[in-house]
Amino acid sequence: MRVIHTVSGIAESSGGPSRAIANLCSSIGRLGGTVNLVAGVDRSNDDRLIRPDENSVNLQLVDAHHFGRVQFCPGFSRTLIRILDEQTQPALIHDHGLWTHANVAAWRAARSRRVPYVLCPHGMLEPWALEYKARKKKLAWLLYQQRIIASAAAVVATSEQECENVKRLFPKLPVAIIPIGVDLPVAADLLPARSPASRGGTVLFMSRIHPVKNLPGLLAAWRMLPPEVAAGWRLVIAGPDEAGHGQEVVALVRQLGLQGSVELIGPVREGSKATAYQSADVFVLPSFSENFGVVVAEALAHGLPVIATTGTPWQELPRRGCGWWVGSDPESLAGALVQAMGSSFEQRRAMGEVGRAYAQEQFSWEGIGVSTMALYEWLIGGGQRPDFIFD
C-alpha cells in the first residue's frame, strides 16, 4: 500500500497538527506502509520543521510563497502527480487541513489519477472555527471547499464531537473517528515528583496563543481565586504567538495586576516540552473550541491532572477521575482551579496516575497507526469495513 499525506506546512510554530501529521506518517511507515509526506515550506519563515522518521517516511518539501496571508505552493500538484505516476501499488491521498492551495492541489491530483481522497480537517469544521473570520471562509466555501469535502472518500475526525459536527454539514459522508496519538514517556524518563511538603505549585497552559484558546477567560478566572488558594501558585502560559494575540494577553495581565503570579514564556521547543509538563502540577486548556486538543493527551501522559472546557471533547476526564470538564466562562474555570489547587499533593498525584493509564490505553501511536491502515485498506477495496466509521 502506498499512501501520500499532504499538508500546507509542518513548521514547529504550527503546533499540534504538525506533530500529529509527522507522527502519524511515521507510525504508518513502521507498520509497513510506503509513505510519502508532501508538505509546503516557507523558507523565509519556517525556521524549524517537525519531520517524520526518515527511515519510515519519504518527506518531500515544496516551496511555498505568501501573498499577504494567502499561501501558494506552485509545485505541489506537479510533485503529487509525479509520485502517483510512479506508483505500482494501490495509492491513496490523505490530505490535512482546509482553506489552502495545498488542499486544492491534493484534491485535484487525486481526481486526475482516480485515487481515493481522504481528508482530516483538524478541527477546521468546528462551529467556532467556521465563524472565526467567517467572511473569507464563506467565499472559499462557495468557490471550492464545500465541493472538495463532499467528494472525499472519507473524512477523519479525531473525536465524537468533531464527527457530529462534520455529519451536520455532510450527513451522507463516511466519517472515521481516529484520535491523535502522543509519545508516551516511560516512567524512568519522568522527573522526580514535587515534594509533598512544598507550598503552592504551577498551573500550565501550553498551546498556541490564539483567541480560540480563551486566555482572557483564564486570566479572569485566575484573578477570582481566593488568596488562601492562590498563595504560592503561579500560572505559566507557554506557546507561540499567533497574529499578535500574545501582546493582548500581556496587556491584560498588567491590567488585571497579575504580573506577580502569571508568566508568559513564549514557545517551548519540542525537546523541552517534557520538562515543561514535568515541572507543572496541573494542566489547563480553557479553549472555546477544540476538535481534540493533543496537549491534553500529552499532559495526561506526563501524569498531570487536567482542566478542560466543554468546548473540547474531553468529557472523559471527570468520568475517569483524572480531571475536570467545565464551562469556558471565568466562573466555571475558577471553580475548577480552586478544586485542583486546593487538592492535596497525594490527590493530584493519584489523579495523574489515572490519567497516565488512560493515555497509554487510548493514545499510543501504534494503535492509531493500525486503525488508520484499516481505514485505507477498506477504502482501497481489500479490507473489512472498520467499526469506527459512521455513514
Whether residue 209 is found in the same domain as residue 287: yes
In this model, does residue 117 exceed pLDDT 60?
yes
- Domains contained in the chain, number: 2
Whether residue 213 is found in the same domain as residue 340: yes
Span 310-322, pLDDT tens digits? 999 999 999 999 9
In terms of DSSP bridges, do strands 65-67 and 70-72 run parallel, antiparallel, or are they unpaired?
Answer: antiparallel
Q: Give mean pLDDT, residues 385-391.
A: 93
More reliable by pLDDT, 158 or 90: 158
Q: What is the CATH number of the domain that holds 93?
A: 3.40.50.2000
Span 333-360, pLDDT tens digits? 999 999 999 999 999 999 999 999 999 9
Residues 314 and 323: their CA atoms lie apart, in Å, by: 9
Q: How far is CA 348 from CA 127, 320, 384, in A?
A: 34, 14, 43
Whether residue 336 is found in the same domain as residue 369: no
Whether residue 102 is found in the same domain as residue 244: no
Span 172-188, pLDDT tens digits? 999 999 999 998 887 64
Residues 45 and 20: their CA atoms lie apart, in Å, by: 21
Whether residue 22 is found in the same domain as residue 37: yes
Whether residue 369 is found in the same domain as residue 310: no
Whether residue 222 is found in the same domain as residue 348: yes
Whether residue 149 is found in the same domain as residue 11: yes
Q: What is the DSSP string of 54-73?
A: TTTEEEEEEE-EEETTEEE-
Confidence of residue 189 (pLDDT cuts 50, 70, 90): low
**What are 194-198's contacts with CB under 8 Å, separation 24+?**
194/281, 194/345, 196/344, 196/345, 196/346, 198/345
Residues 375 and 380: their CA atoms lie apart, in Å, by: 9
Q: What is the pLDDT of residue 183?
A: 86
Whether residue 102 is found in the same domain as residue 159: yes
Averaged pLDDT of the chain: 93
- The DSSP 8-state label assigned to residue 237 in this structure reads E
Q: Residue 224: CB partners within 8 Å, gap ≥ 6?
A: 330, 331, 334
Confidence of residue 191 (pLDDT cuts 50, 70, 90): low
Whether residue 194 is found in the same domain as residue 139: no
Whether residue 72 is found in the same domain as residue 177: yes
Beta carbons of 38 and 4 less than 8 angstroms apart = yes
Whether residue 232 is found in the same domain as residue 129: no
Q: Give mean pLDDT, residues 23-31.
A: 96
Domain that holds residue 131: 2-181+364-390
pTM for this prediction:
0.87
Q: Give mean pLDDT, residues 231-248.
A: 93
Confidence of residue 193 (pLDDT cuts 50, 70, 90): low
